[in-house]
Amino acid sequence: MDFSLTTLGTASAKPVDNRFSSAHVFNIRGRLFLVDCGEGTQIQLNRFRISMLKIDNIMISHMHGDHVFGIFGLLSSMGLYGRTAPIYIYAPRDFASLLKFYLAHFHQGSQFEINHIVLKGNEPVQIFDSKSVEVYSFPLNHGIETYGFLFKEKMPMLNIHKYKIETYGLTLAEIGALKRGENVNRKDGTVLTAEEFTYLPYTPRTAAYCSDTAPFEKLADWIRGVDLLYHEATYLIEEKDVSWQRYHSTANDAAKLAAEADVKRLVLGHFSSRYKDLQLFLKEARNVFPNCELSQDGMVFDVPMKL
């Protein structure tokens, strides 16, 4: 079952020849979530063979251009391709005026509804819930209203050890109760415990997205233990003062957070155009957190199922 991150754009504010602006697709069990929508997002979706019509949910972290300039083109193309299913855009309050302008000038003839869900809260807030996945937003430290996102696979129903079904002659009602984690009390006094008769088919996976933000104390608790963390690394540590003044992180900051939060794997992105050798980011981060990778446009980071 899919659980992955595809990075469509890894640049920061200024355009560069070989990197597009911020845009990412999380594939959670076949459901696609687009996170941020920088300029050229629809081009990257086409380039990497990701159907824009399969995207029903778009998360916009904040209202800086390199994270939102691609939304007009993407929505317009969805209309041209004949989309009819509604789309849900989770974005800060200020997104409303941008959407109003788009609807007034560019949405005529399109057959799908656009819903803006306003992000808010000083702590993690659930913004999406389905049978298999839930998504939370949480505030970041970027000088303007900015949010990160946490994707969590839901706990699966317990499975029954098949050999137990025949051995104990389990009824459908007993199987259902055991799979719900309930013990079964039989009339003869026998107790069938869920612990003995069942097992967890897999351990739910988690991923977090943090861009853009300067370090702050609460963040480690909010993303603790995630299997995959995408975190901005706009600057190297030599420009830490500039980074924090602009409410950004260095590669060292991202690595320190990953270590403190005990995450399993760190992916760096959102690199400043001033740096030509991105391996410097990897070296800096791995000095603190070894299980770290650089994102590049089109890279896919899979989180394997944990049995």
**Active centre residues (catalytic):** 66
DSSP 204-223: PPEEEEE-S----TTHHHHT
| Numbers of helices and strands, H then E, in the chain | 10, 18
In 3D space, the residue among 236, 226, 306 whose CA is nearest the CA of residue 265 turns out to be 226
Q: CB neighbours of 147 closer than 8 A, spacing ≥ 6?
A: 59, 61, 62, 92, 119, 137, 138, 139, 140
Q: Are 61 and 146 in contact (CB under 8 A)?
A: yes
The residues, any chain, with a CB within 8 Å of residue 221's CB and separated by 6 or more, are: 261
| Alpha-helix runs per DSSP H in 17-70 | 41-47
Residue 146 to residue 256: CA distance in whole angstroms: 21
Contact 247, 13 (CB under 8 A): no
Helices marked H in the chain: 41-47, 71-80, 95-105, 162-168, 172-179, 194-197, 219-222, 240-245, 251-260, 279-286
In this structure, are strands 292-294 and 266-269 parallel, antiparallel, or unpaired? parallel
Kindly state the tokens that stand for 85.
């299913």
d(CA 240, CA 220): 19
